[in-house]
Amino acid sequence: MNFFEQQDRARRQTALLVVLFVLTLILIAVAVYLAVMLTRFSLSKMIPLCAFQTRSGLWVPEIFWTTCAAVAMIVAGGVIQKIQELQGGGPSVAKMLGGRCLLPETVEPRERMTLNVVEEMAIASGVPIPQVYLLDDEPGINAFAAGYTPLDAVIGITSGAVQGLSRDEMQGVIAHEFSHIFNGDMALNFRLITLLHGILALHVLGSIMLDGSRQTRAMRKNGTIGSVLGLSFWFIGLIGVFFGRIIQAAVSRQREYLADASAVQFTRNPQGLAGALKKIGGLAGRGTLKSPAAESARHLFFAESGRSFFLAIFATHPPLKQRVKLLEPDFDGNFPRIDPAAFSRLADAPQDLVSRAEAVPDPAKPTVLQKVSENISSSAGTLTDLDLQAAGDLMKSLPPYLAEMAHDPAGSRAIILALLLGDQERVRKVQMKILAESSNRVVYRHLTQIEDKVRHSPRKYRIPLLELALPSASLMPLNQYAEFRKTIDDLIDCDLKIELFEMILRQMTFHYLDPKFRIKTGGKTPRPSYAELREDAHLLLGAIAWAGADNENEALQAFRRGWKEFSAEESASVELRHPDGLREIEKAWAGFRRASPEMKRRLLDAAEAAARHDSRLTLDEAEMLRGFSAVLDCPLPLNAGRIHEPGQTP
């Protein structure tokens, strides 16, 4: 099942979740109605009948529909409250659990190792580098991924995991969490949290009514009525939560199996993931979290975050032994006891696991990627050990000064701006004048120090440098973002032409940073149809064709090849267009960001077809495809689409 099918599957599971939730609500409403009728019967024994009680029998439509409306309002109130709490996306969940954001410039060795693993995984996979939150007060080993989309995703990790896992084990855990990002699980998990909180609201209301009735001493009858209703609401809410937890567990368990399998596929090192699971099994507290907020978010975690009498029923994860057994068939089921005090020694010790000789390719041998028949969209949302190896090699080969600068809030902005500086001295002088007049002084000082190094660095570093710099750039003060955004546009517009890399850098930067600075990119609207997207595809494929061609005839051939892949229409009847400017291209991007996974797949394959019209894929065109997919939220791995002849290394 490919990335686009996984996205559709996640949406279908969301629809199923809503159906199950509605059925649970109906059962709750019926139970509350019966409780109200019981209270009404009890009330009729205490006081004379009133107009409200003139009708006898179990079925009273007026009371039933009033009860249904009241239950719906209570549950909706709980859902809305939780949605407001989580409107900040992944960071909201991490902070709710007591997380502390790890700053990119941290030098603490274990924290730096964790960030390096996350950065390598993100660059290898094409996913925006997520922020990492450390749960300082959690000694158990656990982790989670949270967010509505990959753009607001965070990786949360406990201090026990940071201190107790080796690099291979950490890589296995992070790969597991990245698979949740790929598979669309995060949005599903957020909906689970909000819906369960809505059901819990009835239970909470019952508790409040019980407390209030105990304090009502002067009005004994009212206190009795409140106790009956309160106890009914409390118990019915508890039953609702019970079934809600079962739904939560059923939805989550299968996703965890898939995430484990994906993590092994990504790393080709099952021993790393198995080692992390064994350490969890060997800890007295396992993956248990102390935070009270962890209960509602238990399905987010890498391993079970709590314990209860009904753990087997409510378990959101498969049993640890079963998970390890799937990774290591000869596992005997015994978890060696681990003392948390020895974490640092355990993490740094050589692994006494099965040798990785068969799992990891020999670095002395050149890795050759052959051309495959599948379209590039089949690579979206996937990751291999070759991609991870390439990302690791790329990160190690980056000039240390630039890597350090990319982790600095001001230096990261300088890198992004330096990537836009032209090769021609005349254009560059105009751009430097713009920067001197508009940039933050600290940013400009950094830029003058690195602009020559950035321009003369190998071109293969451009997109990875941008991806590495964006998380740190998101830490700039809010009042500086509008000026930074305008400066990017001014640098691109100053030579009166749009280059392919400029277009990609602009879209990737704004796509990543705009949501973090609350820049509205359009509200939720229905998905556009093919007819609505046709003109946008026409424009974007034309821009790609022009950017990668030396003349109009070559551009026309590239466009027709791409259009044939995208549309069933005869490509010869469609004219090649040249985009009028950045605003027109931005409008076309916006249309496809709202498109269905299938339409995104078609556009991505069409973009590849246009780029490959001459049966080759240059570095510039590979950059374009990676940037294209990033803006469409269809992450491409680092080596996707690259063709290397035998004897060449990627």
Read off the pLDDT of residues 159-197 as tens digits, 9 standing for 90 and up: 999 999 999 999 999 999 998 888 778 887 888 888 888
- d(CA 80, CA 89) in angstroms, rounded, equals 15
Read off the pLDDT of residues 394-409 as tens digits, 9 standing for 90 and up: 888 988 899 999 999 9
> Which of these, 527, 530, 546, lies nearest to 624 by C-alpha position?
546
**Tokens in use for 502?**
């400029």
| Model pLDDT, residue 354 | 31
- d(CA 532, CA 539) in angstroms, rounded, equals 12
Q: Where does the chain hold its CATH 3.30.2010.10 domain(s)?
A: 92-182+257-348
The predicted model gives 63-87 an average pLDDT of 87
Helix residue ranges per DSSP H, 183-219: 185-215
- The better pLDDT of the pair 316, 102 is held by 102
Read off the pLDDT of residues 41-64 as tens digits, 9 standing for 90 and up: 766 665 554 544 555 567 888 888
pLDDT range class, residue 236, cuts 50, 70, 90: confident
- Give the active site residues: 177
578-585 contacts at long range (C-beta below 8 A, 24 or more positions apart): 578/542, 578/546, 579/498, 579/539, 579/542, 579/543, 579/546, 581/498, 582/489, 582/492, 582/493, 582/498, 582/503, 582/506, 584/539, 585/498, 585/503, 585/507, 585/539, 585/540, 585/543
> Which of these, 157, 142, 392, 155, lies nearest to 269 by C-alpha position?
392
Query: Over 50: is that where the pLDDT of 356 sits?
Result: no
Query: Average per-residue pLDDT in the chain?
Result: 80
Read off the pLDDT of residues 509-536 as tens digits, 9 standing for 90 and up: 999 999 888 776 655 667 888 888 988 8
Read off the pLDDT of residues 384-393 as tens digits, 9 standing for 90 and up: 888 888 888 9
Location of structure tokens 């059962």: 27
Read off the pLDDT of residues 143-158 as tens digits, 9 standing for 90 and up: 999 988 888 899 999 9
Read off the pLDDT of residues 472-498 as tens digits, 9 standing for 90 and up: 999 999 999 999 999 999 998 887 777
Lowest mean pLDDT among 59-63, 221-225, 280-284, 535-539: 221-225
pLDDT over 90, % of the chain: 25
pLDDT range class, residue 370, cuts 50, 70, 90: very low
Read off the pLDDT of residues 430-479 as tens digits, 9 standing for 90 and up: 999 999 988 788 999 999 999 999 988 888 889 999 999 999 999 999 99
Read off the pLDDT of residues 573-630 as tens digits, 9 standing for 90 and up: 678 877 776 677 778 888 888 888 889 889 989 988 988 888 777 777 777 788 888 8
CATH of domain 92-182+257-348: 3.30.2010.10
